Amino acid sequence: MAIEQIKMPQLGESVTEGTISKWLVSVGDKVNKYDPLAEVMTDKVNAEVPSSFTGIIKELVAEEGDTLAVGEIICTIEIEGGKAESQSAPEQKSAVAETAAVPQADQGNKARYSPAVLKISQEHGIDLTQVSGTGAGGRITRKDLLKLIESGNIPLEGTDVAITQQEQEQKTSIKEEAHRQPVSSKQAAPAVNIPVETGDIEIPVTGVRKAIAANMLRSKHEAPHAWTMIEVDATNLVEYRNSLKDEFKKKEGFNLTFFAFFVKAVAQALKEFPQINSMWAGDKIIQKKDINISIAVATDDALFVPVIKQADEKTIKGIAREISELAVKVRTGKLRSEDMQGGTFTVNNTGSFGSVQSMGIINYPQAAILQVESIVKRPVVMNNGMIAVRDMVNLCMSLDHRVLDGLICGRFLQRVKEIIENTSKSTTSIY
């Protein structure tokens, strides 16, 4: 018999962790290769983790509600045959030899703290350099810290002396809270004590909403947001689209939306201003080759951001088809993890619910997001001094100021404006 490990998979290009929302197996269950083991929730998508082996579930390392970094062990499986076992022995010996020769190697693994570990250590003043981890490669886990809190021997930051049990008794309320509410990196903030009165409704923050909150908080904390807006005359676009929409729906079977024209215009402008199609990577900026447009699609209680791949290579009809298909997948629960991966820039159709001006939170780790607001008729002073009723729309852009400056974003928006204002039957083909 041999014991194999199942680790937290990477369920998206920028996904660094996942939360076990539900175990689909128990210890002692027999599973086949590719059988689903658990449902995992990230800020991008909900997905099932399949088994990589056929065997018996030996241990569920993570509990439901636990958040683990990509690569951390979630469970172990006992499999038949000695091949895996024979391979594990020399690996273990090698690991022991390396630890003896280079003791700093273990410390390097420990230093890769998960968000959950960092949050608990900050709340309780724990000096992580003095904690021995039980995770892979000596990594400190959330369970290690909760055990320390329970024991009362907490190594304080800035000192080599652990808190005594007597001192820890003064922190009883903190310990009890740790037991009542397991800490997760998905918790955006400590619970607030708000009185609940008769008639009030308490709605638990769970599932996708908790993941969205964590990702939005991360984006606002890490990316210095700046904001800019431009006013666009979409009169020609409105006339062109309205002249086509009925025939298009009858012929193609899906709607030709205004949003498809805006996504196409943004994709074209990104090709001309590739700096916008970038991401912050700590010590460097990565300018992405492919133009993959993330679009926000909402359900009653959640927001998903599927991706239109290579949008610059698609026609307006092709983009309209993908928008329709992705929206159906979201609302029928058939969206796959691959549908959410690879986005390089986000376009949000806030105008669909009547918004005329808004500031979006950047879809981390992208460098910008564009809000397409509602098209409204307004009196406008034309170049000849005359006043005319025109179909106007605001385009609002939030940008990561580490990656982008106002000048390049202003030029990018001017180009999108130019494309939209020159969209007409004589200049633009939807095919």
Which residues are marked as active site?
Answer: 401, 405
Sign of the four-CA dihedral 155, 160, 165, 170: negative
Cis peptide before 365 (omega within 30 of 0): yes
**Cα separations in angstroms, 385 against 233, 381, 382, 388, 389:** 16, 6, 5, 10, 13
